[in-house]
Amino acid sequence: MTDPILRLDEFLPYRLSYTSNLVSGKIAQVYQSLFGLSIPEWRLIAVLAEQPGTTQQAIGSLTGMDKVTVSRAAVSLVERELVEKTPNPDDRRSQFLSLTQTGRQLYAEVAPKAKEMEAAIFSALSPDEQFMLRHLLLRIDAAAS
Amino acid sequence: MTDPILRLDEFLPYRLSYTSNLVSGKIAQVYQSLFGLSIPEWRLIAVLAEQPGTTQQAIGSLTGMDKVTVSRAAVSLVERELVEKTPNPDDRRSQFLSLTQTGRQLYAEVAPKAKEMEAAIFSALSPDEQFMLRHLLLRIDAAAS
DNA sequence: AGCAATTGGTTTCATTTGATACTATATACC
DNA sequence: GGTATATAGTATCAAATGAAACCAATTGCT
């Protein structure tokens, strides 16, 4: 047998993906069962709560989601009347998205639940370590993009 | 507008997923274009290089991949004669998987390329920081599983 | 030994995903 | 102003994914 040249379980791209899947899986389940939201939908809502009036294209480039994914999430949220589109007078191709009253109410329920889940999972790390992790991830983003 | 209760860009599950997708995307592209391998296929090969004779179920629980995903990757690799199955005398439902000669040759090409990509992306971090990152991820795994 | 429950793996099917093509509008250049 | 090129968003289609049903072999129980 060939000597393995690489230890998969120390290979960072793998470790990152493994942990990310684990965490996303747990969380997706809760968004879905409690609020009927997919992860893209939840992200849209989270962005719009912070930055009402964002366009789909901006949401896509901000979150790294494909524009098709964003489009679908937007359609579905508009149907559920959680999000509304208002015309962009400067560019009639795009529209400004924002949360409706109902959308804001939902956000007010989802967000604390999200933080709670984050706390539950990441309480294994000290606040310093959590800070460090964010910092490391951002530097990887910069190197990988 | 409601005050946002949560900063998405500091929300760890999101950050983790963002970075993981970024990194996996880059890497998947190279595996695919250079070797015609999907990520699950590459993982199978990497596991078998280290632990020849592993069963599909073991690979699944080791890597967190769904058993269907593993099954499909195995079928495809056997077709390409990179992997072979040998009977498990103790349990005729399962088989031992290992790399063929060709499989080992491919591994000998892919693995250095993989390490190269890892180095390119993660060289933004010092060795200590890389170590720290692995360590943090493993602790999250423990907390999330 | 014989039957129920479990497990390894594959098949099937519905859903999710993203590349590509397309429409409408906007911008750049001549 | 008119034409070519780029961009925002949607629609379409093919591929990837995973839940559930399924088959075969194994284990546990009586």
Residue A3, pLDDT above cutoff 80: no
pLDDT tens-digit map of A89-136: 999 999 999 999 999 999 999 999 999 999 999 999 999 999 999 999
The Cα B134–Cα B145 span in angstroms is: 16
Among A1, A111, A124, the residue with its CB nearest the CB of B140 is: A124
Tell me the per-residue pLDDT of B82-93, one tens digit each, with 9 for 90 and over. 999 999 999 999
pLDDT value at B145 more than 90: no
A67 CA: distance to closest CA in chain B (Å): 15
Look up residue A93 and give its DSSP letter: T
pLDDT over 60 (residue A83): yes
Q: What are phi and psi of A97, to 5 degrees?
A: -100, 140
The one-character DSSP state at B32 is: I
- What would the DSSP string read from start to end of A10-78? G-HHHHHHHHHHHHHHHHHHHIIIII---HHHHHHHHHHHHSTTB-HHHHHHHHT--HHHHHHHHHHHH
Tell me which residue in B27, B49, B124 faces A140 most closely, judged by beta carbons: B124
A30-39 b/e (C-beta count within 10 Å ≥ 16 → b): bbeeebebbb
Contact flag, residue B26 CB and nucleic strand C, below 7 A:
no
Mark A118-136 as b/e (b = at least 16 C-beta within 10 Å).
Answer: beebbebbeeebbebbbeb
Residue B1 has pLDDT above 60, yes or no: no
How long is chain B? 145
pLDDT band of residue A1 (cuts 50, 70, 90) is low
Determine the average pLDDT of the residues in A62-86.
96
- Taking residues B23-33, report their average pLDDT: 94
CA angle A97, A74, A41 (to 5 degrees): 110
Q: Give the β-pairing of A83-87 and A95-99.
A: antiparallel
Mean pLDDT of the residues in chain B: 95
B 43-62 residues, CB < 7 A, strand C: 55-58, 60
Q: Which residues of B touch A108 (CB under 8 A)?
A: 2, 5
Which chain A residue lies closest to B39 (C-alpha atoms)? A14
Contacts for A139 with CB less than 8 Å, ≥ 6 apart: B124, B125
pLDDT at B12 over 70: yes
**Does the beta-carbon distance from A137 to B5 stay under 8 Å?**
no
Q: CA triplet A128, A132, B128: central angle to 5 degrees?
A: 115
